[in-house]
Amino acid sequence: MSSAVTNGPATPWDPVSDSRPPRNLGRRTVAVGTAASAVLLPLSSGLLSAQSAEGPAFLHGVASGDPLPEGVLLWTRVTPSREAVPGSGKGAPVEVTWEVADDEDFTTVVARGRARAHAAADHTVKADVRGLRPDTTYWFRFSAGPVRSPAGRTRTASAKNAEVGNLRFGVVSCSHYEAGYFAAYRHLAARTDLHAVLHLGDYIYECASGEYPVEGKIVRKVQPEHETVTLADYRVRHAHYKLDPDLQAIHAAHPVVAMWDDHEFANNAWSGGAESHTSTDEGGWAERVRAAKQAYFEWMPVRPSTEGTTYRRFRFGRLADLHLLDLRSFRDHQPPRTFGRRVREDPDRTITGRAQLDWLKAGLSTSSARWRMVGTSVMIAPFVFDAVPTDTRRSLARLLGPAFTLDQWDGYTDDRRELLTHLRDNRIANTVFLAGDIHMAFANNVPVPAALSAGAAPVATEFVVASVTSPNLDDVSQVPSVEVSSEATTAIRRTNPHVRWLDTDSHGYGVLDVDAQRVQMDYFVLSDKTDRDATAEVRRSYRTLSGTQRLEQADTPVPT
Instruction: Say whether pLDDT at 405 is over 80.
Output: no
560 CB-side CA count, 13 A:
11
The model's confidence at residue 137, banded by pLDDT at 50, 70 and 90, is very high
Mean pLDDT (the chain) is 87
Q: Of 170-174, 236-240, 489-493, 506-510, give the lowest mean pLDDT range.
A: 489-493
Question: Which residue in 304, 127, 170, 250 sits closest to 312, CA to CA?
Answer: 304
Instruction: Say whether pLDDT at 162 is over 80.
Output: yes
Res 18: pLDDT: 34
Res 15: pLDDT: 36
Tally the domains of the chain.
1
Q: Of 137-151, 424-438, 489-503, give the lowest mean pLDDT range.
A: 489-503
What is the biggest distance separating any 2 CA atoms in the chain, rounded to whole angstroms?
A: 69
Res 55: pLDDT: 76
Res 391: pLDDT: 65
Res 335: pLDDT: 82
User: Helices (H), strands (E): how many in the chain?
Assistant: 12, 23
d(CA 510, CA 522): 6
Res 9: pLDDT: 31
pLDDT digits (tens, 9 = 90+) for 250-281: 999 999 999 999 999 999 999 999 988 988 88
Tell me the CATH number at 508. Answer: 3.60.21.70
301-315 average pLDDT score: 92
221-237 average pLDDT score: 97
Q: Is residue 4 part of a domain?
A: no
Instruction: Say whether pLDDT at 8 is over 80.
Output: no
Q: Is residue 169 part of a domain?
A: no
In which domain, by residue range, is 496 found?
310-560
Question: Which residue in 102, 106, 127 sits closest to 117, CA to CA?
Answer: 127
Instruction: Say whether pLDDT at 5 is over 60.
Output: no
Q: Is residue 465 part of a domain?
A: yes
Most confident of the ranges 10-14, 278-282, 380-384, 530-534: 530-534
Instruction: Say whether pLDDT at 17 is over 50.
Output: no
Res 281: pLDDT: 85
The model's confidence at residue 42, banded by pLDDT at 50, 70 and 90, is very low
Q: Of 2-6, 347-351, 442-446, 522-526, give the lowest mean pLDDT range.
A: 2-6
Instruction: Say whether pLDDT at 492 is over 90.
Output: no
Q: Is residue 145 part of a domain?
A: no
72-84 average pLDDT score: 97
| 105, burial (CB in 10 Å: exposed 0-12, middle 13-18, buried 19+) | exposed
- Could you write out the DSSP letters of every residue in 204-268? S--SPTT-TT-TT--SS--SSSSPP-SHHHHHHHHHHHTT-HHHHHHHHHS-EEE---GGGTSTT
Res 190: pLDDT: 98
What are all long-range contacts of 106-109, with beta carbons under 8 Å and residues at least 24 apart?
Answer: 106/139, 106/141, 106/151, 109/1
d(CA 411, CA 469): 26
Q: Is residue 53 part of a domain?
A: no
The model's confidence at residue 31, banded by pLDDT at 50, 70 and 90, is very low
Res 399: pLDDT: 60
* Residue 146, C-beta contacts closer than 8 angstroms, at least 6 positions apart: none
Q: Contact at 8 Å (CB) between 231 and 294?
A: yes
Provide, for the chain, the percentages of residues in helix, strand and coil under a 3-state DSSP scheme, each rounded to the nearest 5: 25, 25, 50
Res 30: pLDDT: 30
What is the crossing angle of helices 390-400 and 481-495, to 10°?
Answer: 90
Res 491: pLDDT: 78
Instruction: Say whether pLDDT at 351 is over 50.
Output: yes
112-117 average pLDDT score: 98
Res 279: pLDDT: 86
The model's confidence at residue 537, banded by pLDDT at 50, 70 and 90, is very high
50-79 average pLDDT score: 89
- CB neighbour burial string for 328-337, b if at least 16 within 10 angstroms, e if fewer: bbbbbebbee
* Residue 408 Cα distances to 34, 335, 355, angstroms: 38, 11, 19
Q: Is residue 248 part of a domain?
A: no
d(CA 222, CA 386): 36
Q: Of 207-216, 222-231, 290-299, give the lowest mean pLDDT range.
A: 207-216
